Structure 1
């Protein structure tokens, strides 16, 4: 356990890490947008590239809780379409990540979110079902999801666009997202360990230390989402994404 203290973090840094852990837990149980705040907050402490590996064990802990709670609600039809292409996106993100500095990291995060917002709003009023059934939509979403997840753990907005287009019910939306990220985040681990060297025993111990806050965040997320009516949840996703985008500009 002494390894984690070699970070020499200030009280403010620990408070930020604790907030990140809380938001990460909330994001995995339906509070969309909380996860998009986690990545830039942790980057303030460790920098963009390093933080992508430091936060990954936290995400995996939260993924397990999200899947445990919502596992019966996933749409495996959509997941099977996405997984192969997401794997390709992870590989592409691994190679691209070697050339991405902190400034570029922030730019990718901002572009991803700001492209997603108008698409979400458009899909909110789009009544047709054809879009998610087209092959190009699944292929592009899978690749973009894997790439942005690998580079900055920011595939939440990409998945939101896809699943909003699919018009899944609230619990199925959350369950499908939970399963997608559980599989994708575990698939990213070898690349972080052996290629980027951003996951070590020290980073894993840090995640274990804050795991009670991750689980607390997951419980808070369940409490919040249960109180959001089905018909309002789509707007909740959009508003939370906009809030994350505004934070990016601050």
Structure 2
């Protein structure tokens, strides 16, 4: 059965679903705003599973738009660290409460932003092994516990200085693969419920509107503006998680 929610809650969920679409086809860091919207309306654990299903719908449209632009070398090199991070996230979800999870992720994001900006000011673009392990592990961990891997991996792809479409294509394949891999864990942990899936069916049109709108935005985004917006949205997401 659909949850009995006031009109304002439905509007907030629809807006969050639209932002899912935008985040997949234009502004990856915006996904944390969707996390905030869903967590404000639904119980914390249910919001995570419900949002995951919508993120997978968004992944389909991101792949449709940018499937040819991925840097597969970067993706393959991330695999071991991401797997480790996802497994750590599964263990952490079984032990930690929601407040602890949110604060750990928020602090981590702020530290990653500072680290990424520092690297860009002091060194040439590169993808060192240590950075790959750090970002990959944290990306896998944060996406498992709170669907918050978008800002973490945005910082990694930003540090690699990918052009806009390569950034979006690499992110599209990364999250499509990771989110599908997370699905069995989310079901077994009770995060994705029948009522959550029914809610997702109602919200899918909003994801589609956001995805098509994001595609139009991305075609007009200047590289410098794109990078600045990714950083700003990541800071906003980190601040929300800390509040």
Deviations 1:121-169 (A, max 9, x none): 3244344134x1x222222222111110000111112112211121111
Pair 1:210 & 2:199 matched: no
Deviations 1:171-211 (A, max 9, x none): 000110011000000000000112x1111232222112111
- Against the structure 1 CA distance between its residues 120 and 220, is the aligned structure 2 distance closer, same or farther, given a 3 Å change threshold? farther
**Aligned-CA RMSD value:** 1.8
Per the alignment, residue 156 of structure 2 pairs with 162
The SS at the match of 1:167 is: coil
Pair 1:57 & 2:53 matched: yes
- Against the structure 1 CA distance between its residues 141 and 99, is the aligned structure 2 distance closer, same or farther, given a 3 Å change threshold? same
- Against the structure 1 CA distance between its residues 113 and 41, is the aligned structure 2 distance closer, same or farther, given a 3 Å change threshold? farther
Q: 2:129 aligns with which of 128, 135, 144?
A: 135
Structure 1 segments of 4+ aligned residues over 4 angstroms from their partners: 246-250
For structure 2, the residue ranges without an aligned partner over 5 or more in a row are none
For structure 1, the residue ranges without an aligned partner over 5 or more in a row are none
Q: How many angstroms apart in 2 are the aligned matches of 1:51 and 1:125?
A: 38
The SS at the match of 2:213 is: helix
1:215-226 map, 5 Å: 215-226=208-219
Per the alignment, residue 82 of structure 1 pairs with 78
Per the alignment, residue 22 of structure 1 pairs with 18
Q: Would the aligned equivalents of 1:49 and 1:101 in 2 still touch at CA under 8 Å?
A: no
TM-score (norm 1): 0.90
Per the alignment, residue 174 of structure 1 pairs with 168
Deviations 1:42-79 (A, max 9, x none): 11122332211111000000011001110000000000
Q: Would the aligned equivalents of 2:65 and 2:215 in 1 still touch at CA under 8 Å?
A: no
The SS at the match of 1:9 is: coil
Pair 1:229 & 2:222 matched: yes
Aligned residue pairs total 243
